Structure 1
Amino acid sequence: MRAAERGTSVLKSGVKRLLGRAGFDIVRSTNNRGGVDDFIPFEAVMRAARAAGLSVGDYIDEVMNGTPGATQSTVDELRALGVFEAKPDSVLEIGPGSGRYLEKTVKECSPDRYEIYETAAPWANYLVDTYGVIAQPTAGASLAPTPDGSIDLVQAHKVFNTLTFLSACRYFFEMARVTRPGGRIVFDVMTESCLDPATVRAWASQGGDGHDSYPAAWPRRTCVDLFAALDCRLEAGFLAPMGFASTEVLVFKKGT
């Protein structure tokens, strides 16, 4: 249940081109509620991944995004930072999409409860059927079905690079609300560390007419200060690949 509209003209055209080479065409899902299925179409990607002999996550990393091992490298960094060391029993993920981070998170910590907020119905149904996760109803930037202080690990990957500033803020407030004392919040944003002049030029030249909000830049200090005001301390940050560019993964710990 992806809570974010993550389509971009760059990615859409690239996906269509790659799938076309493999003999597949993009057809909009008839039961999609918006979101990731607009540019990572469920049926076509599943067929293409099977044809390539790859898992869905590896297919998206290697073929569609051109960044082999990107998802695993992020998970490896989180493991090294001790995010999974406490074996979180409850995990919540905003916008898991195809589930490539979800799959690896489950392998790392085997949580008893895994909630997802995903707006693309085909992918949400697939994740429920495959991993037994709980698909929560989505409504704007709300995580209302999840009680206060009930989640050990809240995460979102490749979501907030696509949202407007205020939409991301609303999610941040909700993420802090549902995280238990001592729990962690993990997500990536496109900070100034990811936006050197050459990269900005590349985005501008690659993007065509672009998307209403993508790529969305976030001042790092604003983000860190906002979470500090919510009693969430920054533990670490590192850069992760995103196509030809990068995004910064931030790890916060909520006060006890």
Structure 2
Amino acid sequence: MLKSGLKRLLGRTGFDIVRSINNRGGVDDFLPFEPTMRAARSAGMSVGDYLDEVMNGTPGATQSTIDELRGLGVFAAGPKTVLEIGPGSGRYLEKTLRECTPDRYEIYETAKPWADYLVETFRVVAQPTAEGDLGATPDGSVDLVQAHKVFNTVTFLVAARYFFEMARVTRPGGRIVFDAMTETCLDPVTVRDWAAKGGPGHDSYPAALPRQACLDLFGHLGCSLEASFTAPLGFASTEVLVFTKAA
């Protein structure tokens, strides 16, 4: 009953974790900590694999993104400092740490039970959180800044505030990785599916971001697009963008 109840909670529209950075309720509202941990243990799975396979119906989705990033050499550079916005359950964080061994891994996560779990489990540094603000992190101090399944849950201006901050904290030569629901992911059939399956009460999700506006903004901030690829999101997809900050 627990598994089916949780699956209904998110699975009815292919929802991923909804981050608390939008101030409309955090990850712990949509993915309650204790029941989710119990369900994953009962299934004999890691939390991340449980979310991919049971909650979202896309086994291996997280790993496929990590594999793409590995192929692009994102981890080969040996990032010494990593920052992740909205790690939620830590499914991307865990797999990132299998690919590289940073000296410091900062997280900005407002769902306290999940943040505490990540600190205890992975010895990451939880920073104070405020919408659009990475103020606890110094300028030019991070080798890899990433956010996964975050910017499809917030408005463009909220995302843009984070984009300014992401560029600020990234060191010259460092990388910025995030996914967004750009027009690449919104063909007419997919839009029809979202409209039919999204359900009432979730009209702000998924939030589309204009791809060219993102590219122009990061270009203005001294960051160039290195690569992009699509990643699964339930029955649809998002586009992962990889930027490099000019040295």
Would you say same fold, with TM above 0.5? yes
**Any idea what SS the aligned residue of 2:79 has?**
coil
Question: Which TM-score applies when normalising by structure 2?
Answer: 0.91
Contact in 2 for aligned 1:18/1:63 (Cα 8 Å): no
Q: Choose from 194, 213, 218 the match for 1:203.
A: 194
Cα distance per residue 1:76-101 (max 9 Å; x no partner):
00000000011100000000000000
Aligned partner of 2:213: which letter? Answer: T
Shift of 1:110: 1.0
Q: Does 1:143 align with 2:129?
A: no
- How far apart in 2 are the matches of 1:236 and 1:61? 24
- How far apart in 1 are the matches of 2:204 and 2:159? 11
CA 1:127–1:200 in 2, change beyond 3 Å: closer, same or farther? same
Question: Which TM-score applies when normalising by structure 1?
Answer: 0.88
- How far apart in 1 are the matches of 2:177 and 2:9? 31
Contact in 2 for aligned 1:42/1:123 (Cα 8 Å): yes
Equivalence for 2:221: 230
Q: Structure 1, unaligned stretches of length 5 or more? A: 1-12, 20-32
**Any idea what SS the aligned residue of 2:77 has?**
coil
Aligned partner of 1:98: which letter? Answer: S
Shift of 1:213: 2.4
Q: Choose from 116, 125, 128 the match for 2:116.
A: 125
Equivalence for 2:18: none
Q: Structure 2, unaligned stretches of length 5 or more? A: 11-23
Equivalence for 1:25: none
Aligned partner of 2:167: which letter? Answer: A
Contact in 1 for aligned 2:7/2:54 (Cα 8 Å): no
Equivalence for 1:75: 66
Q: Does 1:91 align with 2:103?
A: no
Contact in 1 for aligned 2:9/2:30 (Cα 8 Å): no
- How far apart in 2 are the matches of 1:226 and 1:17? 38
- How far apart in 1 are the matches of 2:127 and 2:26? 15
Paired residues for 1:137-176 under 5 Å: 137-176=128-167
Shift of 1:208: 1.4
**Any idea what SS the aligned residue of 1:163 has?**
coil
Aligned residues: 231
Q: 4+ residue runs of structure 1 moved beyond 4 angstroms?
A: none
Contact in 2 for aligned 1:155/1:186 (Cα 8 Å): yes
- How far apart in 2 are the matches of 1:35 and 1:159? 11
- How far apart in 2 are the matches of 1:166 and 1:18? 28
